[in-house]
Structure 1
Amino acid sequence: MKKQFLEAGRIVGTHGVRGEMRVEPWCDSADFLKKVKTLYFDGGKTDAGLLSSRVHKSLLLVRLKGVESATQADLYRGKILYLDRNDVRLPKNRYFVEDLIGLHVIDDATGAEYGTVQDVFETGANNVYRIVNGVGEEFLFPAVDAMIAKTDIESGKLFVKPIPGIFGDGAETVPVSAGEAADAD
C-alpha cells in the first residue's frame, strides 16, 4: 500500500538570524521541493506551518510559522519534513522511490522473477536499482528506459528487459592460463 506522506527532506541547520532553516531535500532537487506548498512533521500528522521557501545552492531554505530567530530555528535541526503525495504531480514514467522499494522484478520476455527492489541509488547518469533475490544475492540494475518494459506500482511489479549476464545468468568467464595468472601478480 502506498504511503500518503513521504519523506521530503531533513532540516540540517539555520540560515541567518531571522529563523530560516536549511533543508536537505530527499527528492530530485530543492527546485522540486519548493513547489510543495504544505510540509508536515511527524510522518504527516502535523502541519509544519510553511510560510515561505526558496532555493539556496542545493538546499531549500524555509520559514515556518512561529519561528522568528536562529535560536528557535536551531531547535528543529534533524527533524524530517514530509510531503503529501496528492500535492505533487510527477512526470510520466517517474515514481517515488518509496513506491519502487519492494517491487517484484520480472523478466518481461520470460516471466522469470529475479527478486525485489531493495534500494535505489542515484549515480548522476541514471538511477540504479539494488535487487535482492530469494537466496540473498544482490544485483545492480540500471534504471534506463531501454531496460525497463513496465513499472506497475499498483500490482507491485517491475517488468524488465535485462541484458545477458546482469542477473548472473549466462555470464561467460575466460579461463586464465597459469603463466598469465603469474604475470597478474
Structure 2
Amino acid sequence: MSQWFNVGKIVNTHGLNGEVRVISKTDFANERYQKSNILYLFMTENEPIQLTVKSHRTHKNFDLLCFEGFTNINDVEKWKNGILKIKKEQLTSLDEGEYYFYEIVGCKVVTNDGEEIGTVKEILTPGANDVWVVKGNKGKEYLIPFIDDIVKSVNVEDKIITIEPMEGLLS
C-alpha cells in the first residue's frame, strides 16, 4: 500500500482553459509541478485520479496548474477542494541539511542545555527561511527560524532537534 504525501489543494479554477488554482502544501513546488510530472487527485473516497502536469506558473500566492487532456473549465470545475498528492516513491533524495516537512513535524525540540521546549506542530514558509511552529509543553507557541545560528542538529530518526536559542526567542 502506497504512502501518500499532500502537495496541495485545488481551491478554484482560473480562467476558461482548464487551469486550476492550488494552495501548495509542498516544500518544493517548482520541482513537484514540473511539466510531465504525475500527481494524484483525491476527491472524497473515490480512487485517486492520475494527472500529468502540462504547465505550472505562480500568480499572487497560488500555484496555477494545467493538466494534460483537461483544456476547459468544465473539465476541472468538479475538482474544487480536491487534494493533490504524490506517492512516497516520488520523493527525491535531498541534500544534507534539507528535510521534508513530514520529517520535521512531530520532532521534539530541545536546547543545547537539554531543556525541552516542545514539539514542532507546523512549518511556515514566509520567505528567506522556514519557520518551525513549536507547541511548548505549557501550551505556549514558539517560532523557531530554521537558520544555522539557531538550529544546531536535526535527528529525524530519533525525532529530536537541538537548538541554541538566541536572546528573546523563547520568552
Name the TM tier (shorter chain): 0.7 to 0.9
Q: Does 1:91 pair with 2:92?
A: no
In structure 2, give the amino acid aligned to 1:93: G
Deviation at 1:157, TM superposition (A): 0.8
- Determine which structure has the larger helix proportion and give its number: 1
**CA distance 1:138–1:20, change in 2 (3 Å):** closer
Q: Which runs of 5+ in 2 are unaligned?
A: none
In structure 2, give the amino acid aligned to 1:150: S
Normalised by the size of structure 1, how large is the TM-score? Answer: 0.74
Is the contact made by 1:115 and 1:133 (CA closer than 8 Å) also made in structure 2? yes
Work out the CA distance in 1 between the residues paired with 2:27 and 2:105.
Answer: 17
**CA distance 1:93–1:86, change in 2 (3 Å):** farther
Is the contact made by 2:39 and 2:52 (CA closer than 8 Å) also made in structure 1? no
Work out the CA distance in 2 between the residues paired with 1:123 and 1:135.
Answer: 26
Q: Does 1:49 pair with 2:53?
A: no
Pairwise CA RMSD: 2.6
Q: Does 1:63 pair with 2:67?
A: yes
Q: Which runs of 5+ in 1 are unaligned?
A: 169-185
Q: In the alignment, which residue of structure 2 is the partner of 1:174?
A: none
Map 1:14-33 onto structure 2 (within 5 A). Answer: 14-15=13-14, 17-28=16-27, 30-33=29-32
Q: In the alignment, which residue of structure 1 is the partner of 2:140?
A: 137
Count of residues in Structure 1 that have an aligned counterpart in Structure 2: 163
Is the contact made by 2:12 and 2:22 (CA closer than 8 Å) also made in structure 1? yes
Q: Deviating runs (4+, > 4 A) in structure 1? A: 15-18
Identity of matched residues, %: 25
Deviation at 1:75, TM superposition (A): 0.5
Indicate the SS of the match to 1:93: coil
**CA distance 1:25–1:14, change in 2 (3 Å):** same
Map 1:138-177 onto structure 2 (within 5 A). Answer: 138-168=141-171
Indicate the SS of the match to 1:145: coil
Deviation at 1:154, TM superposition (A): 1.6
- Determine which structure has the larger strand proportion and give its number: 2
Map 1:33-44 onto structure 2 (within 5 A). Answer: 33-35=32-34, 37-42=37-42
What does the per-residue CA deviation read over 1:119-177, in whole Å, with 9 as the maximum and x for residues that have no partner?
Answer: 22222122222212221122222111121111111211111111234223xxxxxxxxx
Indicate the SS of the match to 1:146: coil
Work out the CA distance in 1 between the residues paired with 2:56 and 2:49.
Answer: 18
Normalised by the size of structure 2, how large is the TM-score? Answer: 0.79
Q: Does 1:103 pair with 2:98?
A: no
**CA distance 1:137–1:18, change in 2 (3 Å):** closer
